[in-house]
Amino acid sequence: MRKYTIGLSLALLLLLTGTGFVATSSRGFRVYNLFEQTNTVNRASTEIPLNSRFVTVDYSTIDQYAKNTPESKAANLNSLANYLTAPARSELAKARSVYAWITSHVRYDLNAFGNGTYYSEVDYANRTLRSRRAVCTGYSLLFKHLLNKSGIDVANVKGYSRTEDATAGQPTGPMDHEWNALKLDGHSYLIDLTWAMTTGKSGRPNDHYFLTDPRAFVSQHLPADPRWQLLNPAISKATFDRFPKLYDAYFRMGFNERFPQNGLIHTNDVATITFRNDADLKIVCSAARPGQNTGQTIPSSLQRNGDTYTLSVRVPQRGPTTLYVFAKPKTSANAPYRQYEAIGSFTVVKG
């Protein structure tokens, strides 16, 4: 696997001059196949690079500009949108600047605006701007209307999300989440500011949810309107309900986009899960019974054949168990210690 990094100078071109990866095509949605394997990136592509294991973009310059926005410029949607997008010479720069301002100035608050009802989208966006508190509706509507004012087409997408480990491989319930789809230079992309905030670390947003690959996004998000999957063919709610609970670390570590499709495993003895990754990894497991808040480490065996890892686990008790899977890269003895990260969870039912 090769990982391409766009350095500061190219990032500045990308963000401030509209060159680099910014498209001039008038094509519509880029539609992905969930079962398509991607091993390379076309560096000559006119499309903006998706946030993936192959491309890292340095957004620090424009992030700093947005974070340092004077309060006088944030008095209303118009003045804030004008300030954030004024130096931008690409639509990506505008989107990133608005994203950076929201994630640095609006905190996640479950008590924001009670039941989430509102008179109009603009009204709700204004209330979010004034209070600097939001849940998913506030984040998505503020992002939408700030960018709309700079001429960028942004949709507020409603749908289902998978947030609980204990529901891995099982129906997710009613619609419970909102995020954004946006069109930049003729191509459509996906952003979830709420999850960028709630899964971020050390006061920084989790950029996995900025321009996320649709094949990764659908592992955790299912829009009510299938067109916003940006997948061909689109998956059904029944298929989504069968997925495991996957974490962003699964994709950041380079696991294949063709993730395990079955999050509910029935077994009489050993549960077996197959992953695809061409990196050298360590994988361990823990298990928790229903109602338990934490899991306990359990023995497992791991076999590797090329880029295919086969994890075998003997769950100790009968009945349903939540199986947590953790991974980290193998390192040399002299390398700094790295903690395991959760990559997914599965429901294992032992007969």
pTM of the model: 0.84
Beta strands in 153-307 (DSSP E): 153-161, 177-184, 187-191, 221-223, 245-246, 264-267, 270-276, 281-288, 296-298, 300-305
Q: What is the pLDDT at residue 55? A: 62
CA distance to 106, 111, 321, per residue, from 114 (Å): 17, 6, 35
Listed in sequence order, the residues at least 6 apart from 16 whose beta carbon sits closer than 8 Å to its beta carbon are 61, 62, 87, 88, 89, 90, 93
Helix (H, G, I), strand (E, B) or coil at 29: coil
C-alpha 191/C-alpha 185 separation (Å) is: 16
Q: Give the model confidence (pLDDT) of 44-101 as tens digits.
A: 344 566 665 556 788 999 999 999 999 999 999 999 999 999 999 899 999 999 999 9
Q: In this structure, is the dihedral angle defined by the CA atoms of residues 297, 279, 242 and 172, taken in order, positive or negative?
A: positive
With 50 as the cut, is the pLDDT of residue 336 above it?
yes
Residues in a beta bridge with 281: 329
Cα 249 to chain centroid, rounded: 10
Q: How many CA atoms lie within 13 A of 11 on its CB side?
A: 15
**Domains (ranges, CATH) in the chain?**
4-243 (no CATH), 264-350 (2.60.40.10)
Residue 99 CA to residue 160 CA, distance in Å, equals 22
Between CA 256 and CA 12, with CA 54 as vertex, the angle to 5 degrees is: 150
Contact between residue 350 and residue 321 where contact means Cβ atoms under 8 Å apart: yes
Summarised one tens digit per residue, pLDDT across range 116-131 is 567 799 999 999 999 9
pLDDT bin (cut points 50, 70, 90) of residue 115 is low
pLDDT class of 28 with cuts at 50, 70, 90: very low
Q: 216-247 in b/e burial notation, b at 16+ Cβ within 10 A?
A: bbbbbbbbeeeebbbbeebbeeeebbbbbbbb
